[in-house]
Each structure stands twice: as structure tokens, then as C-alpha cells.
Amino acid sequence: MNSPIIETMVRARDVAFDSSSRFPIARWAPLPLRLIVGFGFMQHGFAKLSRGSDAFVAILHALGVPAPHFMALFTILIELLGGLAVMLGAFVTLVSVPMAALLLVAIFTVHLPYGFSSIKLIAVTSAGAQFGPVGYECNLLYLACLAALVLGGSGPLAIDGLIRKRRKVGIHRSR
């Protein structure tokens, strides 16, 4: 005969690992991921544009990236359009591929030598906090968020969901 404590623990385990019994609010989990990833990518694209695309071209040239003018434009477009698509929940699986590629290139060409941590406080002076070079931590967080969205879906208030619903309605009407 099981004790009430063990029975309670078994029930709690069953609830924790049974996705159908999760709280209804859990379906909203992809929304903050979409918003922060989309906004973050768009901000990086806007930052490159605000400094002038030639500044980013020079950085890519210094890194030895082939066709730096084309790659600068391509990168900025991926950041702006991919970021917007993720925010809207539109074609998330499709746009995640080039976005993940940008993150991986950034990790291996820029951030890897500086280690994991993205925050390296060197000193605090009267001018404010002074930080060292950025590691690859944030890039990994973006990759993890993209993977979660691809594997788990875009969630509510997503264009992908509207497209899926329209396809289902179209299939049912054609029968």
C-alpha cells in the first residue's frame, strides 16, 4: 500500500510530464520569445543601418568575409525582415534558418575568442561601467529561442497559425 505522500508525488509527476494537463497559459509561452527575438534582430539591423552600411562592410572585410558589400546587405535584410517575421509569427521555421546561420557565423568569427560570458565588467568609473569584449552567450540564447519556436511552434497571435487554419478550411471545403 502506497503512502499518501508517494501518491501525491506520483500525481504531481504525471501532471508535470503530461502536456495536455498543463496550465492553459502555457500556450502563450512562445509569444515573449517571438517578441524579444524579433525585436532584437530588428534592432541589430537598424543599428547597422544607422551607422551606415559602409561601416558594417568594413567590419566584414576586416573579418575576411567574401563579397562584403553583398553580405552586409544580406545580413541587414535578414535581421530586419527575419526579425519582423518572427515578431509576427510568420514563416518562423523558414526565416529561422538564415537567422541561425548569422548567429553561428557571428559566434565563430567574432565572439568565440572572448569566451562564453556576454557581460565582462572591467571597472566602474565616474563615466559609468566599463565592459570588455562580448562572448557568445547571447548568440546561444537567440539560437535556443529560435530552436524552441521551430520545435514548439509560434504560439497564439501568429500568422503561421492563421495560415494553418486557412489551409484546414480550404481542405475541408474542397472535399
Residue 162 pLDDT = 87
Chain centroid to Cα 102, Å, comes to 11
Kindly state whether residue 39 falls inside one of the protein's structural domains: yes
Quick one: which of 140, 156, 166, 161 has its CA closest to 34?
A: 156
Kindly state whether residue 173 falls inside one of the protein's structural domains: no
> pLDDT tens digits for 47-68?
999 999 899 999 999 999 999 9
Quick one: which of 27, 24, 7, 14 has its CA closest to 155?
A: 27
Kindly state whether residue 123 falls inside one of the protein's structural domains: no
Of these ranges, 10-19, 56-65, 78-87, the one predicted with the greatest mean pLDDT is: 78-87
Name the grid cell of 127: 563615466
Range of the domain at 73: 30-112+145-155
Kindly state whether residue 57 falls inside one of the protein's structural domains: yes
Domains: count for the chain: 1
Cβ atoms of 73 and 53 within 8 Å: the answer is yes
Residue 21 pLDDT = 54
Cβ atoms of 83 and 42 within 8 Å: the answer is yes
Kindly state whether residue 7 falls inside one of the protein's structural domains: no
Kindly state whether residue 51 falls inside one of the protein's structural domains: yes
Name the grid cell of 7: 501518491
Kindly state whether residue 42 falls inside one of the protein's structural domains: yes
Write down the mean pLDDT value for the chain.
Answer: 90
Kindly state whether residue 66 falls inside one of the protein's structural domains: yes
The predicted model gives 18-32 an average pLDDT of 78
Q: Is pTM, for the whole model, over 0.75?
A: yes
